[in-house]
Homo-oligomer: A and B are copies of this chain.
Amino acid sequence: MSSPEPQDGGYLGPTPTLQQAVEPDNCIKILLATDNHIGYAESDPVRGRDSINTFREILQLAIANDVDMLLLAGDLFHENRPSRTALYQTMAALREFTMGPRPVSLEVISEAGFGIKRDESWPTVNYEDENINVGLPIFSIHGNHDDPQGTGAEGALCALDLLTASGFINYFGRLELPGSVDNDEDALEHGLQVKPVLLQKGDTKLALYGIGNIRDERFHFEMRNKRIQMFRPSEDPEDWFNVVLVHQNRVAHGAGRNVVDTAFGDEAHLVVWGHEHDCIERATPQPVSGRPYYIVQPGSSIATSLAKGEAIPKHVSLVKVQGKEFEFEPIRLRSVRPFIFEEFSLAQVQAEDESINLNSKVAVAKYLKSRVNDLIKQANDEWDELHKDDGDEAEERLLPLIRIRVDYSGGPNGDSMYEMGNPQRFGQDFVDRVANPRDIVQFHRRAAAARKKKVEFDNPDEEMVNEALAEEGIEEKMEKLKVSTLVTKYLEAQNLGVLPEGAMQRAVEDFVDKGDKDAISNLLKKCLKLSLQSITANFEPSKEGPEHDDLGEEMEVAKKAAEERYGISTDKKGKGKGKGKADSSDEDEDADMKDDSDRDSMASSVSSSAAKGKKKAPAKKAPAKKTTTTAKGKGKGKANLVSWY
C-alpha cells in the first residue's frame, strides 16, 4: 500500500469542472466512498465502533449534501461472513438513514442491471419498490472481503445480497466468470461480461459498470485474452457518462497482481477504484497520462492497518455529473480516529543531533517516548482544529493511533544496532492515551532485508516460520505468511491424486478466509464427478482387465482436465496459458508495467452481444413509488446493449 505523500490540499493534475452552470434537474449528485470495512476490530474495546461510526457519518453526509445516490466500491464489510453485531449495526444505520421521504429522481432504464441479481419478487432497485420508502439510494459492488461465496440453493451469495433482499441497498457488479467453479457453460464461452446499470435524471444519462472483485490472476488472464466485454446501449451510445467501478490491486504488491491505470477503454469517463486504502489527493479524480478518463481513489474510511498510507487524512468525494461533464468536491471525514505514522532512523537522529543520548536501552526508550508524546499532542491538536466549530454537537475526542517505525541499524560506538526494549512494554505508558498501546513502535533494520533468505516449505516448519516472523516486523510478515501460502507449498509437496492442487488451494482459502464451510467438500464432489466422467469417457480397459498403469494415466488426464476447468489457465478454446498460481511469471506481470499494450484490452472482440441477453429483460413488476419518485415516463428507455468496440 505505497502511496504518494499525503498532500492535503495539492492536486496532481488538471481537475474536471462543469462548463455549464449546475441545473439541479439535470445534475446527478453522487457521494463516492469505499472500503468501509464494517466490523473491523469490532471486539477491540477502544476501536470497536470506529468502522460503523464512520459509515454512519458517510450516510449523514449523503443526506446533508442531498445526493442522488451513495456509490460504494466494495468491502463494505471487513469479514466475508460479518458478525451478527456488524450486520445488525449496518442494517440499523441503513434503516435510519436510507429510508425516508426524500424524493429519488434517478430513473432506471429497463434492461439494465445485468450486474444486479434479480429476484422475481422485487424490482431491480429498492427505490422502485412501492412498499419501501427509500430516500437515499445506495449502489455498491462487492470487494475482496465481502465477495460472493458458497454454493447454496440460491448460488453464491455475499453479505450485500442480504442488504439487497432487505431492501436497503442495490448490489451490483456480480460477474459471471469463465472457469469459476459455479459458472455456467455460457460464461465459460464468453469471458467476463460487464453490463451497466443505466440511470437517468433529466438529460443526464449515467451508466455504472460494476466489476466486483475477482482474483487478480483471473482479471489479468481475462484482460490478456481480451475476454472482458463491456456492453453499452445500442441507441445513442455516446450520450452516456460511463463510470467503471473496480476493486482490485492498483499498486503492484507482487508480480502480476495489479491492474494498471491505463487498462480501461476510451469509453470510460471516470474509474472509481476501491480496494486501495490510501486516500489519493483528497479523493479527487486524477487524469491518466495519455488516456481520456479520470481515476478517483477515495481510499478506505477506516485504517485497517498501521501502514503509512492509512495515515493520509480520509475523505469521500462529492461528484456532480451533468451531461457528460463532471466536477467534484472532496469532503474530509471527521469521525475517523486520528492516525499519525512516523518513520525515522536512530542513526540519523543521532547524526543530526549528537546531544541526544541513545546509548542504552533506557535512553532509547526515553527518546522514543518523547517522540510519541509529541505525536499524541500533534494528533490531539489536529482533532481539535478539525472539530473546533462543532459547538455543542462535539463528539468526544478519540484516542489517536500512533505508529513509529524505527530503523535501529547502526548504533553507538560502532555497534551494529541500537539496543531496543520490548515494544509491548513500551506501550504500557500510553494506555488510555493512544488507541493502540500494544503496537505503537515497530522496529526494523535496514540490513535485514538483504539477509532475508528464501523460506522454503515442505511441511510448514514452525521454527522457520517463527524465525521469519522474528526477523522483521511481525505485521508485515504475517501479511506474507498467509494461510494460503502455507497451503500452496504444502499441497505442492503432496500428490493429491485426482484433486487439482490449484483448485484445492482456493477451496482451502475460501474455507479459512471466507468461512465457507462447504468449500472443500463441494470441490471434492465436483472433481470426483468430473474425474469419473473423464475416465469413463477415455479409458478402455484391455480385454484382460484394466491395467493399473493406464488407469493412473487416465487419472492424471482427468486431473489435468479438472485443473484446467477450475484453474485460471484455461479457456475452452485453448488460448490461455496461465498456471493458476500466484507466483506465475508471465512476461507482462512485472511490477512496474505502466504503459503496456493493454489499453484496449477491455474493448470486446465480439461486436454485438445484444441478442444474447436472453436471461434478462424481465418486466418491471412494481412501479416506482409515486410519492417519492420524480422520474418521468416509466420504462421509456428500453436499452439494447452492445459491447464496446
Residues of A in contact with B (beta carbons under 8 Å apart):
42-43, 48-49, 81, 83-89, 91-92, 95-96, 99-101, 119, 121-122, 129-133, 135, 149-150, 152-154, 157-159, 161-162, 165-168, 518
What 7 A-B pairs come out closest when comparing CB atoms?
Answer: A85-B152, A99-B131, A131-B133, A91-B165, A166-B166, A96-B121, A84-B157
Question: How many whole Å from A442's CB to the nearest CB in chain B?
Answer: 26
A42 to B152, CA, bound (A): 8
One of B84, B92, B99 near A81 (C-beta < 8 A): B84
One of B42, B121, B153, B159 near A48 (C-beta < 8 A): B153
CB pair A88 B132 closer than 8 Å? no
A49-B153 in contact given A92-B121, A95-B122, A119-B92 (Cβ < 8 Å): yes
CB pair A162 B88 closer than 8 Å? yes
Question: How many whole Å from A74's CB to the nearest CB in chain B?
Answer: 18
Closest chain B residue, CB of each to CB of A122: B95
Chain B neighbourhood of A121, CB < 8 A: 92, 95-96
Question: How many whole Å from A579's CB to the nearest CB in chain B?
Answer: 31
CB pair A166 B85 closer than 8 Å? no
Chain B neighbourhood of A157, CB < 8 A: 84-85, 88
Chain B neighbourhood of A95, CB < 8 A: 121-122, 131, 165-167
A84-B132 in contact given A91-B165, A96-B121, A154-B89 (Cβ < 8 Å): no
Please state the number of chain copies in the assembly.
Answer: 2
Question: How many whole Å from A528's CB to the nearest CB in chain B?
Answer: 15
Question: How many whole Å from A487's CB to the nearest CB in chain B?
Answer: 21
Question: How many whole Å from A312's CB to the nearest CB in chain B?
Answer: 27
Question: How many whole Å from A379's CB to the nearest CB in chain B?
Answer: 24
Chain B neighbourhood of A43, CB < 8 A: 152, 518
A291 to B96, CA, bound (A): 46
Given A48-B153, A87-B162, A95-B167, 20 extra CB contacts under 8 A? A43-B518, A83-B152, A84-B150, A84-B161, A85-B152, A85-B154, A85-B157, A88-B157, A89-B153, A91-B162, A91-B165, A92-B121, A95-B131, A95-B165, A95-B166, A96-B121, A96-B122, A99-B131, A101-B131, A132-B133
